[in-house]
Amino acid sequence: MATTNYDFDILYLGSGHGTFDGAPTLAKQGLKVGVIEAGLVGGTCPNYGCNAKITLDFPVHLQHQVHELNPVLRGALTLDWNANLRHKQKIIEPLPDMLTHRMTDSGMMLIKGFGHFVDAHTIAVNETQYTADKIVIATGLKPRPLTISGNEWAMDSTAFMALDNLPANLVIIGGGYIAMEFATMAIAAGSQVTVILRGDHALRQFHQPLVNQLMLHLTDQGVTFLRQTTVQAIKKTATQRYEVLTEDDTLVTNGVLNATGREPNIDLLALDAIGLDSTANGILVNDHLQTNIPNIYAVGDVIDKPQPKLTPTATFEARYLAQLLGEHTTDPIDYPPIPTAVFSSPRLAQVGVSVTTAQAHPAEYRIVEQHLADNWYHQVSQSKIGTTILVFDQADRLVGATELSDRATASINTLLPAITLKLTAHEVNRIIPIFPTDESAAWKLLPHD
Ligand SMILES: Cc1cc2nc3c(=O)[nH]c(=O)nc-3n(C[C@H](O)[C@H](O)[C@H](O)COP(=O)(O)OP(=O)(O)OC[C@H]3O[C@@H](n4cnc5c(N)ncnc54)[C@H](O)[C@@H]3O)c2cc1C
Ligand SMILES: NC(=O)c1ccc[n+]([C@@H]2O[C@H](COP(=O)([O-])OP(=O)(O)OC[C@H]3O[C@@H](n4cnc5c(N)ncnc54)[C@H](O)[C@@H]3O)[C@@H](O)[C@H]2O)c1
């Protein structure tokens, strides 16, 4: 039973992590909660993002680590992309059903279809209108099309992760997360890979000396990076190949991946009709995730925000919103440091105060850089790359960390509690990690009392 005269107390638009990590709690509380989903239940991360990607990447990263151990482990390991794809589908395909149950078992109602606003309390899906006391926009991002002739010949990350076989030759446009991760996968599967960067830099939000090391390593694996290059058009040839026209050259290829970023999924929501404020980066919200229309909230990637648009951010916001709308808090949202990683081989991960910020404020921060040769554990795995950079504040507490290595995600996750909980050297000393492990090697980097 709705506790108001509306069809729902709370109606979510979109069923990704921003919804399914919070909304079921509200339904279990007795509120009438609905969710409208136009595509696969669970949204980007399970179906076309993190889970799909990491399943495809698992053998790629393993192959990289085995390769580093040559000649201890000998012989060529061949990545069978088609078998890898089938494994991914087997792992991923059950997720929408599983997530549907997570929501409907809690009492939520799932409505399939594309929703748009009629007024501040009403969403239309096809011919049916649904009313709600509160509405939460959780529609995420979608691939940003190229604004050049031939855009239709470039695949997006979803199409790439559904390819039965990888093209023998692949051109990737862009230098962000998707470009680096997918270049890593494609080169491991035997494609010839060219990455086109419009400027000199890739992964701008990461520490550039480490990004350059990563690019050098990918170059050694066979990836070609073209800098300061603008794609002007893409053409399809009579022989089922593509021509990628740049200012200097024409690249002939079997596949083109558009990895130039994603944009908010808001253009068809009729936000103007209800006067809801948004920008090209998403929906504007206050520190309670509330839009300029008081009964409408937004969560996850669709928000215009400084925090990284990642799954853990969407999950944190989903849980906060469930607390707020369930009337368990009136506090503003208070984001902890949010870690992020590029799942290339090697991995590049970071959290907290950046090295660039620390370098700009030498009186406030102390920077410690540790290299492969200093880390015994990296030597065990014969890794060719391993750099960790730590940033400490004046009280000698860890406030930032970045690492390029095969184990960078484990290291950064291990260091996270020290940063988030602002642990003192005495508190650090109270925590004893299992030895000998990557995690104990990372923990050892901290000052102990
Ligand atoms: C290739 C790729 C790899 C990624 N890898 C990682 C990673 O390794 N780690 C990480 O943390 N993050 C990763 N991300 C980002 C992560 O997927 C997102 O941050 C996360 O999915 C955001 O969740 P969300 O709920 O905000 O939006 P989404 O998961 O995008 O959900 C939005 C949902 O809304 C639906 N929708 C949109 N408009 C409407 C409408 N009008 N009516 C009804 N339904 C609608 C969509 O169909 C979609 O299901 C990756 C993203 C991509 C594309
Ligand atoms: N490991 C992860 O957490 C992960 C992995 C994949 C995707 N994601 C999420 O998905 C989002 C999208 O990923 P992405 O890699 O597509 O975007 P991105 O924003 O990370 O990178 C886009 C890249 O394309 C370049 N670019 C933009 N417009 C261009 C143009 N017209 N021509 C050439 N280059 C252009 C940018 O300079 C940038 O290098 C990420 O921001 C992130 O939120 C996260």
Nearest to 210 by CA among 337, 392, 344, 399: 344
Phi, psi of 35 (to 5 degrees): -140, 130
Q: Please state, for a pLDDT cut of 70, what percent of the chain lies above it.
A: 99
Residue 193: give its domain's CATH number.
Answer: 3.50.50.60
Residue 213 lies in a domain: yes
Domain boundary residue among 260, 286, 312? 260
Residue 69: helix, strand or coil by DSSP? coil
Give the integer Cα–Cα distance in Å for 49 and 141.
11
Phi, psi of 137 (to 5 degrees): -90, 120
The DSSP 8-state label assigned to residue 105 in this structure reads: T
179 lines ligand 2 (CB under 6 A): yes
Give the integer Cα–Cα distance in Å for 404 and 350.
9
Regarding whether 196 and 138 lie in a shared domain, the answer is no
The structural domain count of the chain equals 3
Regarding whether 177 and 131 lie in a shared domain, the answer is no
Per-residue pLDDT tens over the stretch 344-401: 999 999 999 999 999 999 999 999 999 877 777 778 888 889 999 999 999 999 999 9
Regarding whether 281 and 138 lie in a shared domain, the answer is yes
Residue 90 lies in a domain: yes
Per-residue pLDDT tens over the stretch 149-205: 999 999 999 999 999 999 999 999 999 999 999 999 999 999 999 999 999 999 999
Q: Following CA atoms 417, 421, 424, 425 in sequence, which dihedral angle do they give, to the nearest 10 degrees? A: 0
* DSSP-assigned letters across all residues of 371-434: EGGG-HHHHHTT-S-EEEEEEE-TTS-EEEEEEEETTHHHHHHHHHHHHHTT--HHHHHT----
For the record, the structure tokens of 370 come out as 């540790």
Q: Are 275 and 293 in contact (CB under 8 A)?
A: yes
Regarding whether 317 and 422 lie in a shared domain, the answer is no
Per-residue pLDDT tens over the stretch 30-87: 999 999 999 999 999 999 999 999 999 999 999 999 999 988 998 888 999 999 999 9
233 lines ligand 1 (CB under 6 A): no
**Substitution candidate for ligand 2 out of 178, 230, 281 with most atoms within 8 A of CB:** 178
Give the integer Cα–Cα distance in Å for 388 and 373.
11
Give the integer Cα–Cα distance in Å for 442 and 202.
26
Regarding whether 24 and 134 lie in a shared domain, the answer is yes
Regarding whether 224 and 188 lie in a shared domain, the answer is yes
Domain boundary residue among 260, 275, 302? 260
Residue 192's domain spans which residues? Answer: 151-260
* DSSP-assigned letters across all residues of 329-376: --SPP------EEE-SSSEEEEEES-HHHHHH-TTT-EEEEEEGGG-H
Kindly give the distance from the C-alpha atom of residue 88 to the centroid of ligand 1, in angstroms, as a whole number. 18
For the record, the structure tokens of 56 come out as 């495809």
Regarding whether 138 and 281 lie in a shared domain, the answer is yes
Residue 332 lies in a domain: no
Asked if residue 174 belongs to a known ligand binding site, the reply is yes
1 has pLDDT over 50: no
The DSSP 8-state label assigned to residue 163 in this structure reads: -
Question: Atom 6, ligand 1: which residue's CA is nearest?
Answer: 50
